[in-house]
């Protein structure tokens, strides 16, 4: 009976960290935040640290948009960087 309790506890722990990592990536604007599930489930707390240290895509896009608005980069350069950041 105790073996099942540990198994259930480990599954709940993994799902919890998976959800935390998914939400971190979702809040940072990543187009596929479900990757966070894998990080959280397999690496737990370390997965959350990895997700938390990833750059915020919203801030990165805003930075490049400001450079474009200032005339520092061209529309083509902005579009290339946008596709690169969004993984498209």
> Quick one: pLDDT at residue 55?
87
Instruction: Write the pLDDT tens digit of every residue in 27-64.
Output: 988 888 888 888 898 898 899 998 899 888 889 899 99
Distance CA 87, CA 79 (A): 12
pTM: 0.73
CA angle 37, 7, 38 (to 5 degrees): 10
Residue 76 has pLDDT above 90, yes or no: yes
- Residue entry with tokens 């895509």: 57
Distance CA 70, CA 79 (A): 15
Average pLDDT over residues 55-81: 92
- Residue entry with tokens 């915020």: 56
């Amino acid at each position: 009976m105790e073996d099942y309790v540990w198994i259930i506890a480990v599954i709940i722990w993994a799902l919890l960290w998976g959800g935390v990592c998914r939400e971190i990536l979702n809040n940072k604007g990543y187009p596929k935040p479900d990757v966070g599930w894998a990080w959280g489930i397999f690496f737990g707390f370390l997965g959350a640290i990895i997700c938390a240290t990833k750059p915020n895509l919203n801030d990165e896009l805003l930075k490049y948009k400001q450079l474009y608005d200032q005339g520092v980069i061209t529309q083509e350069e902005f579009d290339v960087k946008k596709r690169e950041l969004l993984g498209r």
